[in-house]
Structure 1
């Protein structure tokens, strides 16, 4: 009695509440948010960005690389509600964070992408897989010696691991990236 089932929100409609939330959590103006929304709907008429479409967009930006593995990690980071698609709000928060978020926020987002098993720690295998995916994305072929993903991951963890457990917490990852410009450029190129 009196209990209404939750109403479904149409992903194609940009509500005033969504605009206010995005204005409060990004540096975008209402006009910019509306412009992004028009473009988002042009590219994603359903109001949802699928993983396949996400990969296709990345492939346009990195034509000489292979985007699939990198996109697998990035997509799951941006799909905050884990429903298999990225809606406009998730998209805008991701854009804002990757373009203009402060360094700590951007590094925290990168950590979340590396920690794909959501354990709260990054181990050598997780880091090596993402480094390999990043190499694929940019078309990097030289993976020998110190450039080999597992060796590179072990070295980064050795440098940043304060606790000695051979894994990185979010705090260790952020501090390590902030203190070592070479590591930061490798792990978070746009930071």
Structure 2
């Protein structure tokens, strides 16, 4: 009788994993090992699930509501869409949001906002993410210019170069780079 192979994730860091991460980040062997030690301490099975992911964000935003934002961020970082984030996915996501040049970091922000994963951000997706970001930082005032739907409409009107009421990755990156207010709001760490 053939036994099914389980999709076990190894908690041991291999030379192949280190080589992959080094090829795609600026981390040294030692830094990768340190990140791995912390990751395995927090995720002994080698996988970060949505619940633990939200717990980590809650440490950085203790006064905010992290659930909506974390759902979208988790889905962006779970590149193989298996419902968990492996160490490689985790560290590559950290590197992309912290080590990349401005275009690379804005591309990651775009991927986060592109909820439908169709290569474009529409007004509804943008409003959803603005609302999630407000929840994350504990922003209560959502009236007038701060209304997520109004803000999304204004941003799309300003950045949409083709007039299709959607933003491509190129429009998003270009718009964020040329408008410091939009950049700060949509991608503060980029």
Distance 2:58 2:7 in 1: 32
Q: Does structure 1 residue 185 correspond to structure 2 residue 184? A: yes
Figure out how many residues of one structure are paired with residues of the other and give that number: 187
| Per-residue CA distance 1:55-97 (angstroms, 9 max, x = gap) | 0110111011100000011000000000000000000001111
| Per-residue CA distance 1:135-187 (angstroms, 9 max, x = gap) | 00000011110110000000100110000000001110110001101000000
5+ residue gaps, structure 1:
none
CA RMSD for the aligned pairs?
Answer: 1.4
Distance 1:6 1:122 in 2: 39
Residues 86-125 of structure 1: pairs in structure 2 closer than 5 A: 86-125=85-124
Q: Which residue of 1 aligns with 2:79?
A: 80
Q: Which residue of 2 aligns with 1:161?
A: 160
Distance 1:19 1:7 in 2: 23
- The answer to whether the 8 A contact 1:12-1:41 is kept is yes
- The answer to whether the 8 A contact 2:9-2:47 is kept is no
1:7–1:65: structure 2 CA closer, same or farther, 3 Å change rule? closer
Distance 1:38 1:145 in 2: 47
Q: Which residue of 1 aligns with 2:24?
A: 25
Distance 2:8 2:17 in 1: 11
1:10 deviates by 3.4
Regions of 4+ moved over 4 Å:
5-9
| Per-residue CA distance 1:85-128 (angstroms, 9 max, x = gap) | 00000000011111111111111111111111111110000000
Question: What is the TM-score with the length of structure 2 in the denominator?
Answer: 0.95
Distance 2:14 2:8 in 1: 9
1:6 deviates by 8.3
Q: Does structure 1 residue 35 correspond to structure 2 residue 10? A: no
- The answer to whether the 8 A contact 1:11-1:48 is kept is no
Question: What is the TM-score with the length of structure 1 in the denominator?
Answer: 0.95
5+ residue gaps, structure 2:
none
Q: Which residue of 2 aligns with 1:50?
A: 49
